[in-house]
Amino acid sequence: MNPQGAILNVNLAGLALRNPVILAAGTCGYLDEMNDVIDLARVGAVVTKSITRLPRDGNATWRIIETRSGMMNAIGLANVGVEAFARDLAPRIASTPATVIGSIAGFSIDDYVAVAAAMDDCDAIHAVEINVSCPNVHGGTEFGADPRALAELVRALRPVLSRARLFVKLSPIANGPLAIKDVAKAAIDAGAQPAGPNSRPGADAICLANTMPAMAIDVHTCRPRLANITGGLSGPAVHPIAVKLVHDCYRAVAKDSATPIIGIGGVLTWQDAAEFILAGATAVEMGTALFVDPRSPLNVVAGLEKWARAQGAASITELVGGVKLE
């Protein structure tokens, strides 16, 4: 029998995590701030706030509101910018008791490349997650909504990542005529020049998904509830949408190319995380849950361990993609 806890060990494109529960970008401070309320040594990894090339104040308030079965945000990528990140925050990564994944946002390929190069220089960052739910200043649409622009972005990023793995975090909007498999395939098969012998020609992992574009209106003032007018919906309301995205992506492209998927959206309980795993995710991220109960990731870790044992698995990875369809 596996020693206590080892049953939950997972491997994300060579990045070994003690368990598959990750704190999501933008919901747990910049880095290690959550360590005051939850022992980060007991989660799989922490994703930083998305860092941009230049500092950003973000949108006007209100920029976070509660909705039925979730929350909406339009933070507008408020952050200190990559220079201050590298100078003031990166030195803390080595003493952060969880694996740290750097999140990157940008409005042009050059933006992403500049931040990725700076993060790759930080020895303690073993993976970067690129947030492609940002409008491309050149093309107008999001990188994540345009398979060609996304492949071009991945091709430009690959050569600057000599150490850090490349995780691509997609938007859930590719759930209709633009199928998630096409966007994920563009990222996985980008055809980039690998930086080293172990690196791939495209994304090392696919993260599904970011928040769902949404809007809420105050019927008394007749004004949008977010100053930005629209925002991104997260929490339980988006969970079944994200499960379908993971299922579709796993079956169509990720399984055959052995590309791990990270399931993101509405994980509040271990059952939500287990659903993602059965749909094809190797790990999950938790965001909105941290606003409800910042310690809830520990309950998810404990629940997943019991579940994996009850399913008779020696490793939780045996359950990835295990949904029974007949």
Asked if 150 is part of the footprint of ligand FMN (rule: CB under 6 A), the reply reads: no
Q: Judged by CB under 6 A, does residue 144 bind ligand FMN?
A: no
Numbers of helices and strands, H then E, in the chain: 8, 16
Q: List 56's β-bridge partners, or say none.
A: 79
Among 52, 259, 288, 296, binds ligand FMN (CB under 6 A): 288
Name the CA radius of gyration of the chain, rounded: 18
Nearest distance in Å: CB 63, ligand FMN: 8
From the list 5, 91, 94, the residue with the least C-alpha distance to 42 is 5
The residue behind tokens 């998305």 is: 50
Q: Which of 52, 96, 131, 199 binds ligand FMN (CB under 6 A)?
A: 131
Give residues 256-275 in contact with ligand FMN (rule: CB under 6 A): 264-267
Minimum gap (Å) between residue 264 Cβ and ligand FMN: 4
Do residues 106 and 52 touch, judged by C-beta distance below 8 A? yes
Q: Using the rule CB under 6 A, which residue among 19, 171, 228, 234 binds ligand FMN?
A: 234
Instruction: Return the residue nearest ligand FMN (CB atom).
Output: 26
Instruction: Find the binder of ligand FMN among 211, 282, 296, 317 (CB under 6 A).
Output: 211
Q: How far apart are CA 200 and CA 185, in angstroms?
A: 13
CB of 292 to ligand FMN, least distance (A): 10
- Asked if residue 286 binds ligand FMN (CB under 6 A), the reply is yes
Is residue 207 annotated as part of the catalytic site, yes or no?
A: no
Choose the catalytic residue: 134, 207, 222, 249.
Answer: 134
| Integer angstrom CA distances of residue 47 from 29, 107, 133, 280, 301 | 9, 20, 16, 21, 17
Our finding on whether 75 is near ligand FMN (CB under 6 A) is yes
Q: Which of 59, 73, 99, 317 binds ligand FMN (CB under 6 A)?
A: 73
CA distance 89 to 80: 10
Pick the closer one to ligand FMN by CB: 266 or 321: 266
The residues in 101-120 that bind ligand FMN, with binding defined as CB under 6 A, are: 103
E-assigned strand segments in the chain: 10-12, 15-17, 21-23, 45-47, 64-67, 70-73, 99-104, 125-131, 165-170, 205-208, 212-215, 217-218, 223-224, 230-234, 261-264, 283-286
Catalytic positions, please?
Answer: 134
Binding stretches for ligand FMN (CB under 6 A): 24-27, 49-50, 64, 71, 73, 75, 77, 103, 131, 169, 210-211, 234-235, 238, 264-267, 286-289
